[in-house]
Structure 1
């Protein structure tokens, strides 16, 4: 009898996690798309690295109903706008959030250098705007509170997340269905070693060039320097960076924090002296790995 009970419990746990992958767009209605012979590429040598994204998706991870907090997070993996560190800064983050009762959607967004895109810099934001709308459109079925849906991004994904959080006044595409009646503004932002600015003095040059091109106009650089786009309606924000980050200077986060403070936006920021770049959950990195605990504490105390 005990054996059967254990088996039943195991089976119950194995089916409790809910994961589903949705296309962001109907196949024939992807905005800013053009036909090409380009193929999506996936390399999983060390991390799952996806490039040349052709069909953007939202991979949704739902906690069991009994533990759901109502919060949901749109996760934007990094990769310098050249690729996506899809598991390292995506699916493993979603699983961690699930363990805390938080729903998560990992955004497989189009990359600006793809031959299948007409206007490079628009595509990632178009996909992010659609992604957060999908979370809200399915809020009832997924036990999500529409007023507790935020965005989280790592590195260049942090730039995309902060773009979503500062450029929500106008959609980057024309609405195609009922999903596009949902709100685009995130209720909160989580920015992890983020690229924020396109200022050549502090930007990550690869992200800059991949998103805007090597010789963009000053107006375009200003438009996507998100510390310059903060207003009093920007969402509450959590920022994390390492002081010794040699890829994305910590000045990106410091400028964003200053802009948020200037506009009266509640912000929590943690600058660790060591950690370098791309540490994700930082498992095994001594006290740095506790940053995720700080995040959960912050999320629990959001109003």
Structure 2
């Protein structure tokens, strides 16, 4: 990192004692693009049903960083929790997933993107997060050419949008960091939602696939009311000859994370680990030339 980026980066890093994360990275150093409210901490909702911690009213987007306890594999993953673009299921689809990724050697970044009802601003936040990590990749010991996404439900929608709109500068340029690529190198969409908002439940129009759309892993179930999203996205990727892996179970529902007691929740992590080994971690090489 040059001196400018180093100084700017240090402004973003503060110690964090929540969960098992080591640091919190604030995404925006000055004004938050597209935000009308003053910065304040996320608000935890009173709803803790299903033993899930839900946060909302996010005006100061950030990432909580989870580092591997041992030697890392050099790859990084941004975790996008779901919650209908209204809340974030921050533990079930965030911190718990990051802990699992650490066990596989990944450095994980749990994204607190803007909610409620701020889909466009959420994309700003994820694009900025990708660039911010790349700007300090040496610090985090992450290969900037092996930085991916994993998203759940609405977080899967957000990851799909970032995987197809990386060449669109969605927000006003803030600093040198925004000159870096916002293209993720791979994406995992776990029970994704809102990918079939086109005519007759076809692919959502904003999800325009290109030859350099990154490889994708999709997982869903037939009894999920959003299950068509994974099927439509997988078909579109296949038609464009983008590497895609789809797993679809008969049952499991929606919003199960990776907690025990649900067949889908107990199945997808093992399949994802095999996919990582076959595609992401093979020979420690970038997936596509940048």
What TM-score range do you get, normalising by the shorter chain? 0.7 to 0.9
Q: Structure 1 residue 289 and structure 2 residue 288: aligned? A: no
C-alpha separation between the residues in 1 aligned to 2:229 and 2:88? 20
The change in CA–CA distance for 1:293 and 1:121 in structure 2 (over 3 A counts) is: closer
The TM-score with structure 2 as length reference comes to: 0.82
C-alpha separation between the residues in 2 aligned to 1:152 and 1:39? 24
- 1:59 aligned to 56, 64, 82, which one? 64
Structure 1 position 285, deviation (Å): 2.5
Partner of 1:20: 23
The TM-score with structure 1 as length reference comes to: 0.79
Structure 1 position 29, deviation (Å): 2.1
Aligned length: 257
Q: Deviations over 1:116-149 (max 9, x none)?
A: xxxx442010000011112211211111011100
Structure 1 position 179, deviation (Å): 2.1
SS in 2 for 1:141: helix
Q: CA RMSD in A?
A: 2.2
- Most deviating of 184-193 and 250-259: 250-259
SS in 2 for 1:191: strand
Structure 1 position 262, deviation (Å): 0.7
Partner of 1:82: 86
SS in 1 for 2:160: helix
Partner of 2:250: 273
Partner of 1:300: 277
Partner of 1:30: 32
SS in 1 for 2:131: helix
C-alpha separation between the residues in 2 aligned to 1:38 and 1:187? 32
Partner of 2:282: none
Partner of 2:104: 100
Q: Which runs of 5+ in 2 are unaligned?
A: 1-19, 280-286
Structure 1 position 288, deviation (Å): 4.8
Partner of 2:3: none
